[in-house]
């Protein structure tokens, strides 16, 4: 045995210690519960960034976004959280699905605005039904922050945050058979305005305080009055208490894209218009909106709309940037013809 050990033996790789000696791990075994921001891109990529490492001044795009910016950097939803916290994904079916932040890939900071192209598809973390999409994110560790929902038929609802702790998914609203949620946002208070934009180019803004919070089984209340044959295409909220995790910006804008009903994306003429949000007067809940775009020949409806902090960013279905500079117009004016397909509109990553 001694001869074999001498011939075939190898040096020991472990260090033998006395029984009473303390053992120190080379790396910490517990992940620190550091603050972070979880971001969902417009093309469905999910990622988290360490909050302290982001320079807010560098994360805000210039008035004319660079044409060589990375794809997928349009934010669809974002929320402040911690590394060991829990967030919820709000879907178009009115469901909330729990997610562990620790399971979401953490992207390293860089010297410029963080790129979302390194995220993973949100469908890797949640199971969706056919036609169901993720619309918003919410921090479930904030006890007083509820979610505001807007549906295609003009219903609005603020949900009381009494989320069941023993369920991984649950309903936030009772929807009618022909209805769906088109937008959602987490609110930390009443200092926000809720915004509806409809397919017939009407925009309605009203105070969130005018909507009484309801329990999860409730079906909501009238948000905007719709004409026959029209529907809501975008819903959201603007203001200091809207979208925790994203810095509010006084320079809010409205982007509307007009096209023709029934046409395939990119197959017909379309026009886009960017207008300051301040030009749209507020009105009461359950009323009609004000016109936000005049249709040109060959256009009969809005196909895309968005409101939020400017400057607005645009992208194709694949995430390729579309330049929206020079697309400014009057509140009720017509848009500028598009030279390429525009599928996504939003803002850049701008954490608090």
State yes or no: pLDDT of 137 exceeds 90. Answer: yes
Lowest mean per-residue pLDDT among 35-49, 69-83, 139-153, 326-340: 69-83
pLDDT in tens, 6-21: 777 776 555 454 555 5
> Using CA atoms, how far apart are residues 186 and 161, in angstroms rounded to an integer?
10
State yes or no: pLDDT of 352 exceeds 90. Answer: no
Around Cβ 230, how many Cβ atoms within 10 Å?
18
The number of angstroms, rounded, from the C-alpha of 334 to the middle of its chain's C-alpha atoms is 28
Residue 62 has what pLDDT? 36
Helix (H, G, I), strand (E, B) or coil at 285: coil
State yes or no: pLDDT of 66 exceeds 50. Answer: no
Which residue's structure tokens are 């989320």?
163
Domains assigned to the chain:
32-346 (2.120.10.90)
Question: What single DSSP character describes residue 57?
Answer: H
**Closest to 70 (Cα-Cα) out of 109, 36, 115, 31:** 115
* pTM, rounded to two decimals: 0.84
Residue 15 has what pLDDT? 46
- For the chain, what percent of residues have pLDDT higher than 90? 58
Residue 192 has what pLDDT? 94
Which residue's structure tokens are 């972070």?
36
**Closest to 80 (Cα-Cα) out of 124, 104, 50, 55:** 50
> Using CA atoms, how far apart are residues 98 and 112, in angstroms rounded to an integer?
31
Around Cβ 94, how many Cβ atoms within 10 Å?
25
Question: What single DSSP character describes residue 59?
Answer: H
Confidence grade of residue 317 (pLDDT, cut at 50, 70, 90): confident
């Amino acid at each position: 045995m001694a001869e074999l050990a001498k011939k075939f033996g190898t040096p020991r790789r472990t260090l033998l210690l006395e029984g009473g000696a303390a053992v120190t791990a080379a790396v910490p075994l517990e992940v620190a519960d550091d603050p972070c921001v979880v971001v969902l891109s417009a093309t469905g990529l999910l990622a988290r960034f360490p909050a302290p490492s982001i320079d807010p001044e560098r994360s805000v795009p210039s008035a004319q976004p660079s044409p060589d910016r990375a794809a997928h950097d349009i934010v669809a939803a974002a929320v402040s959280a911690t590394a060991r916290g829990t967030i919820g994904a709000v879907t178009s079916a009115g469901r909330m699905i729990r997610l562990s932040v620790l399971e979401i890939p953490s992207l390293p900071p860089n010297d410029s605005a963080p790129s979302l192209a390194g995220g993973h598809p949100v469908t890797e973390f949640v199971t969706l039904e056919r036609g169901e999409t993720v619309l918003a994110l919410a921090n479930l560790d904030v006890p007083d922050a509820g979610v505001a929902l807007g549906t295609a038929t003009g219903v609005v609802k603020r949900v009381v945050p009494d989320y069941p702790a023993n369920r991984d998914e649950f309903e936030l609203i009772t929807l009618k058979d022909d209805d769906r949620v088109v937008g959602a946002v987490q609110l930390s208070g009443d200092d926000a305005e809720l915004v509806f934009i409809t397919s017939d180019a009407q925009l309605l803004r009203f105070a969130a305080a005018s909507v009484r919070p309801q329990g999860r089984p409730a079906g909501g209340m009238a948000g905007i009055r719709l004409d026959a044959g029209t529907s809501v295409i975008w819903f959201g909220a603007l203001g200091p208490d809207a979208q925790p995790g994203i810095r509010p910006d006084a320079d809010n804008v409205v982007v509307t894209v007009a096209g023709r009903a029934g046409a395939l994306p990119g197959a017909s003429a379309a026009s886009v218009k960017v207008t300051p949000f301040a030009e749209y007067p507020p009105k009461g809940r359950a009323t009609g909106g004000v016109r936000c775009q005049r249709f040109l020949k060959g256009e009969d409806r809005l196909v895309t709309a968005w409101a939020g902090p400017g400057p607005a960013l645009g992208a194709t279905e694949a995430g390729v940037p579309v330049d929206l500079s020079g697309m400014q117009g009057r509140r009720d004016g017509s848009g500028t013809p598009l030279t390429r397909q525009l599928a996504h509109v939003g803002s850049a990553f701008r954490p608090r």
